[in-house]
């Protein structure tokens, strides 16, 4: 587990078995991570953005949010990821086995992504 918060950020991390979480939040961000096996991870980074991630066993989650945020999620087998980021936008991502999902939502955008095996979105 690697946590690299910067100025004026608060990070609470409570991970357990089989979880890997890399969080790199920026200035004035709040990050709360509570991951376990078959886990729930709640991440609330940066100004006016909301990110909710719920990965399960054997999942990898890389989150690098900033102001008006950027979210990169690379989940693996048997993972469920729900991402709700940025001002006035909703992003729902439900990837399956061996999928890679790159999400860069903007203001007032709505994105629904349902990716399958070995897919790139």
Residue ranges covered by each domain of the chain? 2-113
Q: Please give the C-alpha separations between residue 13 and each of 3, 20, 22, 113, in angstroms, as whole numbers.
A: 8, 11, 10, 28
pLDDT in tens, the chain (121 residues): 444 444 444 444 444 444 444 444 444 444 444 333 333 444 444 443 444 444 444 444 444 444 444 444 444 433 444 444 333 333 334 444 334 444 444 443 443 333 333 333 3
The pTM score is 0.14
Model pLDDT for residues 58-89, shown as the tens digit of each residue = 444 444 444 444 444 444 433 444 444 333 33
């Amino acid at each position: 587990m690697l946590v690299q918060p910067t100025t004026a950020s608060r990070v609470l991390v409570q991970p357990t078995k089989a979880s890997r979480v890399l969080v790199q939040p920026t200035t004035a961000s709040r990050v709360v991570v509570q991951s376990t096996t078959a886990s729930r991870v709640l991440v609330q980074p940066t100004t006016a953005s909301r990110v909710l991630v719920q990965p399960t066993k054997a999942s990898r989650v890389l989150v690098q949010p900033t102001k008006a945020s950027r979210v990169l999620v690379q989940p693996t087998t048997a993972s469920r990821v729900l991402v709700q980021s940025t001002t006035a936008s909703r992003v729902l991502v439900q990837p399956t086995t061996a999928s890679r999902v790159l999400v860069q939502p903007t203001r007032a955008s709505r994105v629904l992504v349902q990716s399958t095996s070995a897919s790139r979105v």
